[in-house]
Structure 1
Amino acid sequence: MEEATISALLADEGQRLLSELRDYEQGRELALATRLRRDHPPELVSAALAQARLRQRAKAKFGEEAERMYFTPDGVEQATRASVAVYRAGRFAGLGVRRLADLCCGIGGDAIGLARAGVEVLAVDRSPVTCAVARANAGALGLADRIEVRCADVADVDVSGFDAVFVDPARRGARGRVFDPEAYSPPLSWAVEAAREARVAALKVAPGIPHEAVPEGAEAEWVSDRGDVKEAVLWFGAGDGVRATLLPDGHTLAGAGLPDPPVGPVDRYLYEPDGAVIRAHLVAEVAQRVRGTLIDPTIAYVTAPERVATPYAQAYEITDVLPFNLKRLKALLRQRAVGTVVIKKRGSAVEPEELRRRLKPEGPNSVTVFLTRVAGAPSMLLGHPAT
């Protein structure tokens, strides 16, 4: 994609084409393209169709608002989900931030959330195409007066006049995801240096960042949305320690420095902590809340005799605790007329899809099967979500 493509889509003819493609269906693309090319330049039709496909993909992150926005293929993949951007913008605003430099802004997902929270944003990216898209999004959403888009190397931007800095380094290279923080673009060490110059700063990092890589004085926050871990953020000027935040409700669990929970036998209830809680190493805090123990010292499942409501873990009522045995499991499911099996694994080499294929479940009933270890032994736990 080129800057000229974005300009063409923003012009009157491009806008009419995009309007016609608002209800785009991929299965009808060939016939639709043939019809549109009778009245419009072929290259503009191709660009509009590509944008329509990207908008369909982007709905998972931006909802219906994606129909008004503009995207690049990498932008759809790497943009912050709207719910996460809104949460982070609210946190910045709550810390008194009024002017912020958004470095490596991408297509502007975070800048949009910040502007809507009342923050004046300088959005910086080194890609001219990406900047053109970010600028188009600010205009399409009525935020052009609060978002200035600048095409530059982030290392050349003077951030001294801003209340806060947000850095979202590129974590993908030619071979895919980059796991070494120093291989980010820009490297984490540069981002940390930039963060320390601001009153408040946040650096977006991969959720798998090792805890030992968290800089001194920073708070590490892991964020999940509807149970899926989306990102980790290093905050400066907002405290220290670790926390897990669960969206869309915004529940936040802060670390209390608790020791590892004791290990005990599987009791009536099994608690599966949210992925953000596990990444933040806060399973002990969940165990304390439900008055439970671990089923194994290396497995993030908590067990307890009572059902205790907590937003930080899903509770299951356990009916069977058995050594792992495929024949026995098949017999149990057949005996109980189970046709729907939800398979979860933690600490097991068994692949759920392969197990499901071999089980061939039939019947009107359902069950959740946990493939895990109990006190070091390969085990299978059967149960159902607690209500």
Structure 2
Amino acid sequence: MAAIYPNLSLPLLLLLSLLFPSLIFSSTLQNPDLVVQEVHRKINESRRNLGYLSCGTGNPIDDCWRCDPNWEQNRQRLADCAIGFGKNAVGGRDGKIYVVTDSGNDNPVTPKPGTLRYAVIQEEPLWIIFARDMVIQLKEELIMNSFKTIDGRGSSVHIAGGPCITVQYVTNIIIHGIHIHDCKQGGNTMVRDSTKHFGFRTLSDGDGVSIFGGSHVWVDHCSLSNCRDGLIDAIHGSTAITISNNYMTHHDKVMLLGHSDSYTQDKNMQVTIAFNHFGEGLVQRMPRCRHGYFHVVNNDYTHWEMYAIGGSAAPTINSQGNRFLAPDNRFSKEVTKYEDAPESEWKNWNWRSDGDLMMNGAYFTQSGAGASSSYARASSLGARPSSLVGTITLNSGALNCRKGSRC
């Protein structure tokens, strides 16, 4: 046998003969390179059958973990599945699992053990899960500490009817599998943000998720709708963010990325927006960008009333492999909106559309140097063809995961 496959070691040949005897002695596969390729194919195929590799959806995040029927015993593996600029957001991967058991006793200053607020203010890394289905109506903003994951898989968890989630000057946050909706303003009161500190909070905006000076943040598979201000906003120097697999509906100003035209610190902002479904009842800002670099890739835009992607202050916007279905009215067919600048200025901003699918009259107004270095320096992940967007985003939003079966 070694004479037949001189480039393969004897131990490897013996192993292969045990695993795949018909392959090794096949007269059709005398080429050692072909043997190795075929063995890799068969091993990968067998692993897929066991749920360790791709489920074949074309969604790299989901293919990383959703096909594992034992996901509930391997929850923290999710942290290794992020993509894009937020791919290094480990959240509470390296800490203990904390189970939220109390949904109704939110105390903004002296939170009780068992509550979500108690978990998110702790100093150490925590992977936070939920004992059962619950609706959590917060009395004030949920101000998170660093290295935390909020993981709603296995339960139907709603944060709704009060102030919602704030990620302020902290790092390594994962928010996954949560319904976030009907968020209100809070503030003008004391709120705790760690075990060691609480302070006076001014009036909040009423965002679903507010990222303020945060970094390494990943918001994945959440369902968001109907908040007072933005569904997800990132401002004041926030960066290294991925917003993926979310389902967003029934909202006006969906996503603001960048504080103001004059806040130039946001030039370092890098955000990946991937595999989301922007659905019914949305008006604008999907997203609205300022200053930084924004990779908008393989999203499904099925509704907008004013525009889908907009910005000011010369952001770089790289739109790849998205599907844009324009509304039926004749006034909102344009995907893009250049704001607060004359054409003589915005024509130099780097906005490009690459492989996007335009439907029902949708069109994208490009600008700047199409192949400029600003695109090359920060392509956060490879785009799949826009024809696959329907499959990739099919399960956007919070998943109905149950223990003991694939998500």
**Could you state the TM-score of these two structures normalised by the residue count of structure 1?**
0.29
Larger Rg: 1
**More relative contact order, 1 or 2 (CA 8 Å, 6+ apart):** 2
More helix by share: 1
